[in-house]
Amino acid sequence: MLALIVEQPRHGYELMRAIEERMGGSYSPSPGVIYPTLSWLEDMGYAAVETDEAGRKRYQVTPEGNAFLAANRASVDALFSRIGTAGREGRYEGVPAPIIRGMENLKLALRLRLRSGAIDQAAAENIAAALDLAAQSVERS
């Protein structure tokens, strides 16, 4: 987030959208991720807050934040490299919308199921069988 604030001062909502764009729409951080991180950056002295006319907080990088980024440039570059330029190049460019919807639905269903508690052997086998069946169906299409 600090590297994105260096590009231009931003509000929390603007950071959420910038991250979502960088991730090609595959991830959008929640306010519960963004705002505690912004508070931490401010507490560490890496970001400063200015309030605009509407009363919204806009974050900008401090000299300490610039020094922190410079000291950690390799890590930042590695992270952005892994993310790639999905938002700018269109990660799913040319892929029909129903396929993207289906992929996103599957990812969400798996995440929700894995968060809901322990998975016993029978449930694990059922989930794996459903995934295998879906993969076979896609291969035959």
Query: What confidence tens digit (pLDDT) does each residue in 83-102 have?
Result: 764 444 456 677 787 887 78
Which pLDDT does position 90 carry in this prediction? 54
Place of tokens 């970001």: 47
Q: Do residues 119 and 127 make contact, with C-beta atoms less than 8 angstroms apart?
A: yes
Which pLDDT does position 88 carry in this prediction? 44
Q: Which of 5, 93, 7 is nearest to 50 (CA)?
A: 5
Q: What residues in the chain have per-residue pLDDT under 50?
A: 85-89
Instruction: Give the whole-angstrom CA distance, residue 54 versus residue 69.
Output: 30
The tokens of 84 are what? 């790639």
Query: 0.75 exceeded by the pTM?
Result: no
Query: Cα dist. 127→36, 39, 112 in Å?
Result: 35, 39, 13
Instruction: Give the whole-angstrom CA distance, residue 103 versus residue 109.
Output: 10
- For residue 22, count other CB atoms closer than 10 A to its CB: 19
